[in-house]
Structure 1
Amino acid sequence: MSDHISGPRALSDPIADITDVYAFPSPEDPGRLVLVLNTLPMAKPTDLFSAGLLYRFRLRPLAPEASEGPGWGFAPGAEEVVLDCVFDRPEHVTDPTTGRPGHAQTGSCISPLGERVSFRVNDENGGAGSGMRVFAGVRWDPFIMDARAALATIATRKLAFTESGSIFLDGKNVLSIVVEIDTGALPGWTLVGVVAETLTRGEFNVRIERVGRPEVKNMMLAPKDFDQVNRDLEIRDLYNMEDVFRPGESYAGAFRARLDANLAFWDGLDGKQDWPVAEGDSHPLTDLVLADYLVVDVTKPYVEQGSFLEIELAARRGEPHETSGGRTLNDDVMDTIFTLLVNAGRGPTIRDGVDAATRPGTVTFPYLATPNPNPPEPPEHH
C-alpha cells in the first residue's frame, strides 16, 4: 500500500492520492538527482493527470542535529528548492493507427533555475531544459509488499508473513512524474531532505497529500486500537495538512500518542521489547517517523539495494553513512521497515515474502517500467 489510499480524502479524491515517492542519484549520470512522484492508485492505461492539481517536490539541505545521546535528527535548513509540475486540460485526438478517438495532454515543470520545461504526457523522451529532464505518464506501480499479510498482522496481533508472499493487485498502474535535476542546482548541499505533495492549483494552494517515507500513514498512523489517547480519531488527513519542514504544535501530541502506541505494538510482535521507551512512553522511533522526508546524499553514487534508511541508521549509531540513502525503485524497503519496527535490526530479517516487482524498474530514463495494458480491476469498495 505504501501511501496508497492513505486516508478519507485520498479515498474520495484518488487523482490527488500520492502512492509513492522515490529519490536517488541517476544511474546514468551521478551528477543528477532523480525524483519520482507516483499518484492515482490503480490507474487505467488511458488515465491522465488533473489540470486542477499542483504536483510539487520540495527539497531542503539537512545538517546533523546536535543531541546529547543517540538520535535520528537532521535539521532542515531554511533554504528550499521547489519543483512544481502542472498539466493542461486533455485534448481530443484521433489515433493515427487505429482511427479511434482519444485524449492527449501537455504538462510543464518549473526548473530550479526558473525555466518552464514542457512535455507531452506518456512521451518516453519527456521534456528537457535548464539542467532538468521530465517524464510524466502511466507506468507499472513499482511498490512491492504483501499488503494482505501486513493487514492480517495488525488484525491478529501476530506476524502473518510467509516465505512466499504476493503483491496486492500485482500489475496495477500509477500515474508517474519523474524529474531529474543537475545537483549543481543544489549548491553546497550534501544531505538533502525530499518530500512530495499534491495541492489545489490556483491562487490559494491547499495541500491534499504529502509523502516522504513509505507506510508511515497506513502501517504506523492508521491503526487506532492501540492508541488510548485518541482511539476514535482518523488522523491521516490531519497529518497531511502539516508542513513536514515546519510542523505545528496543534496536533503534535496526537501524532506522538498514536505513533508511540503503534510502534510499541510492532516492537512486541516477536515477544520482546527491542526499543526501550523513554519517560512518558515515548518510543525511540517516533522522532524518526515524524521527520517524514527521504534523506539523500547527493554526493554519493547510485546503489540499487540497501540504501533506504542507511543514513538515518548510521546517524543513530554515531557512524558515517556509506550510501546515498533516499529510496530507489527496486529496493525491498518493506523488509527494512518491518525489521526495524519489530526487532530494531537485532534479530533476523522480517520478510514479507515479496522481494522484487514482477516488472522491476530500469537504470535508464524514465526508470519506471512500462505500464500494464490490462491492469487488474480494483475491489469494488475502491
Structure 2
Amino acid sequence: MLSNPRQNQATRRFSAKSLLKLSGVVLGLGLSLGSIAPATLASDHDDGETNTKSRNLNLTDLYVFREGDQNPNASTDDLVLIMNTNPRSVARQQYYFNNKARYEFHIARTPDNDATPTGKPDVTLRFEFSQPKPNQTQTVKITTIRDGSSHVGKAITTPLNSDPKTTQVPMGGQTLFVFAGLREDPFFFDVEQFFRVRAGALGKGPAVGFRDPDKAVDFTTGYNVNAIAVRVPIKFLQNQSGATTFDVWQTISVRGKGGKYRQVERLARPAVNEGLIVSNDFLNALNSVGPDFEAAALAGQKPAAKVAGPIVNEAAQTLKAIGNDDQRTNTLLQAFLPDVMRIDTTDTSGYGNALNSKGSPIRGRLLKDDVVDITLSVLTNGAITTDNVSYEGTPGNPSQGHSPLQTQFPYLALPN
C-alpha cells in the first residue's frame, strides 16, 4: 500500500512557484469550476454548467473494485462499477439523469498488468434514461455490447427519500445488478485552502500550506451526486477469454440532430486528462475522443500524433513545472496515458495497492481511497503528501466527514 503520511512541513517546503504550477494539476481533482474558478479552466469532477452542457452531463468520479474487498461477506468474483454524475447536487432536492444522453462504462480485456492500454472496449455497459415520471423515477434502458453481441434490459431509478431499488438484469447468461439514483458524493478535498495556497503563490496573499487536520475543510461535504452502480460477474466480462485484468473508463454522449450521438465527457483515473491538461480547448478535445486516440498518439500514429502533439506537450510542461525532470516526466506520461482505470482482479482492490512496471495503479479504486493524497504525492515526487482531508474526517472538525457507507450494494452513503 502506498503510504500517505500527513506531513504539513513537506507542503510548506514546496516552493511558491511550484504550487502555482500545481494549480493546473489539482484543479483536475475535483474543483467546482463553474462557481469558484474561471471558465477557462476545467475539471471533470465538475466542469460547471454552460448553455450547451448541463450539470447532469458532468462526470465526477469512477470507482471499480472487487465486491469482496468492499464487503467481506460478498464475492470477489464480482466487480462493482460506479459512475458518479451531476456534481453539487444540494441536499433534499431531486435531480435527474439526462434523457437525451448515453452514460457508458467501457471495459477492455488486458493480457497482463504491464500491457499498454489499447483503449478499445470489448464490453460496453450503456444506460439511457426516460423523462422523469410524476413519482420522480426514470425508466432505465440497459444495453450490454459484448464482443459485438447486444442484450437489452430495463431498470428503474430510485427517487429521493426512497429505499434503494436494485434491479436484477439477465444478460448473456449472467445476471447484473443495477442501481441508479442520488447518493452522497464520496469525494473529499480541501479546495478552499488550495485557493489560499495558490493566492500566496501569486503574491496576492500570505504564503501558506494546507491546513492542519482539525481545520481543513472538505468541499464536497453535504453534497449529493447521481450515481449509476453495477455489480457485474467477472465471468461476464471474460466471456470465455480467461482475462483477469481489465481497463475501464466511462463516457457521456448526447443525442444530436439526426439521432447521432456526440461524446462530451470521458473519465477514468482522477487527475489525468483533466489534471495534466490546463487549456480548456485541449481538455474538451480529449473529452470528445477515447483512450484509443491517446494510445495512437503516444505510438506516433498519424493523424493522432500530430493532432495530440500540443496536448501531450502541455501535459509534459505541467509535470516539469511541478519539479519533474525530463526522465521522470516521460515515465509519468507512460504510466498515466492513455487514461484508463486498470484493475487486476486476482488481488485486493485499492488505488494505491499496487503499481505495474510503468508505475501505473492496477487495482482499481475503492470508495474511501484517498486519491488526492496519492496523486499529489506521485505527481510532486513526494513534495506534497496530503491535503489533510479524509472520508471520515477529523474528530471534532465539523467541516469534514461523510456519512457512513452502506454495508450492501450499491455501498454509497444515503443522500443528504
Length-normalised TM-score, structure 2:
0.71
- Which residue in the other structure is 1:32 paired with? 78
148 and 335 in structure 1: CA distance in 2 versus 1, 3 angstrom threshold:
same
326 and 285 in structure 1: CA distance in 2 versus 1, 3 angstrom threshold:
same
- Which residue in the other structure is 2:54 paired with? 13
Which of 340, 361, 365 in structure 2 is aligned with 1:293? 340
Which one-letter code corresponds to 1:57 in the other structure?
F
Q: Residue 213 of structure 1 contacts residue 294 of structure 1 at CA under 8 Å; is this kept in 2?
A: yes
Q: Percent identity?
A: 25
What secondary structure, in the 3-state scheme, does the structure 1 residue paired with 2:367 have? coil
370 and 7 in structure 1: CA distance in 2 versus 1, 3 angstrom threshold:
closer
- Which residue in the other structure is 2:372 paired with? 334
Which of 209, 213, 216 in structure 1 is aligned with 2:265? 209
Q: Which runs of structure 2 are paired with 1:165-244 in the superposition (5 Å)?
A: 165-187=216-238, 188-201=242-255, 203-222=259-278, 234-244=281-291
Measured after TM superposition, the shift of residue 77 of structure 1 is 7.5
- String of CA shifts for 1:147-187, please: whole Å, max 9, x gaps: 23334445544773222221114111110000110100122
Measured after TM superposition, the shift of residue 220 of structure 1 is 2.3
Q: Which runs of structure 2 are paired with 1:13-162 in the superposition (5 Å)?
A: 13-27=54-68, 28-44=74-90, 45-64=93-112, 74-76=116-118, 80-93=122-135, 103-111=136-144, 114-122=150-158, 124-130=164-170, 131-154=175-198, 156-157=200-201, 160-162=209-211
Measured after TM superposition, the shift of residue 9 of structure 1 is 5.9
- String of CA shifts for 1:312-353, please: whole Å, max 9, x gaps: x34236xxx9x971011111111110000112x5x7x61111
132 and 116 in structure 1: CA distance in 2 versus 1, 3 angstrom threshold:
same
Q: Residue 212 of structure 2 contacts residue 388 of structure 2 at CA under 8 Å; is this kept in 1?
A: yes
Length-normalised TM-score, structure 1:
0.77
Across the aligned residues of Structure 1 and Structure 2, the Cα RMSD in angstroms comes to 2.8
Report the Cα distance in structure 2 between the residues aligned to 1:246 and 1:184, rounded to whole angstroms.
28
- Which residue in the other structure is 2:8 paired with? none
Measured after TM superposition, the shift of residue 250 of structure 1 is 4.5
Which of 344, 359, 364 in structure 1 is aligned with 2:408? 364
15 and 75 in structure 1: CA distance in 2 versus 1, 3 angstrom threshold:
closer
Q: Residue 142 of structure 1 contacts residue 360 of structure 1 at CA under 8 Å; is this kept in 2?
A: no
153 and 242 in structure 1: CA distance in 2 versus 1, 3 angstrom threshold:
farther
Measured after TM superposition, the shift of residue 116 of structure 1 is 2.7
Report the Cα distance in structure 2 between the residues aligned to 1:77 and 1:208, rounded to whole angstroms.
17
Measured after TM superposition, the shift of residue 135 of structure 1 is 0.2
Which one-letter code corresponds to 1:146 in the other structure?
D
Once structures 1 and 2 are overlaid, which stretch shifts more, 4-13 or 201-210?
4-13
Measured after TM superposition, the shift of residue 29 of structure 1 is 1.8
Q: Residue 195 of structure 1 contacts residue 212 of structure 1 at CA under 8 Å; is this kept in 2?
A: yes
What secondary structure, in the 3-state scheme, does the structure 2 residue paired with 1:287 have? helix
- Name structure 2 gaps, 5 residues minimum: 1-28, 31-43, 69-73, 202-206, 295-303, 392-400
Report the Cα distance in structure 1 between the residues aligned to 2:128 and 2:326, rounded to whole angstroms.
44
- Which residue in the other structure is 2:7 paired with? none
Give the count of matched residue pairs: 327
- String of CA shifts for 1:105-134, please: whole Å, max 9, x gaps: 221322467443322211613211222000
294 and 11 in structure 1: CA distance in 2 versus 1, 3 angstrom threshold:
farther
Which one-letter code corresponds to 2:209 in the other structure?
A
Once structures 1 and 2 are overlaid, which stretch shifts more, 254-263 or 75-84?
75-84
What secondary structure, in the 3-state scheme, does the structure 2 residue paired with 1:195 have? strand
- Which residue in the other structure is 1:99 paired with? none
- Name structure 1 gaps, 5 residues minimum: 66-71, 94-102, 225-232, 269-274, 373-382
More helix by share: 2
What secondary structure, in the 3-state scheme, does the structure 1 residue paired with 2:193 have? helix
What secondary structure, in the 3-state scheme, does the structure 1 residue paired with 2:97 have? coil
Report the Cα distance in structure 2 between the residues aligned to 1:77 and 1:259, rounded to whole angstroms.
19
- Which residue in the other structure is 1:380 paired with? none
Which one-letter code corresponds to 2:142 in the other structure?
C
What secondary structure, in the 3-state scheme, does the structure 1 residue paired with 2:293 have? coil
242 and 341 in structure 1: CA distance in 2 versus 1, 3 angstrom threshold:
same
Once structures 1 and 2 are overlaid, which stretch shifts more, 354-363 or 170-179?
354-363
Q: Residue 127 of structure 2 contacts residue 140 of structure 2 at CA under 8 Å; is this kept in 1?
A: yes
What secondary structure, in the 3-state scheme, does the structure 1 residue paired with 2:276 have? helix
124 and 146 in structure 1: CA distance in 2 versus 1, 3 angstrom threshold:
same
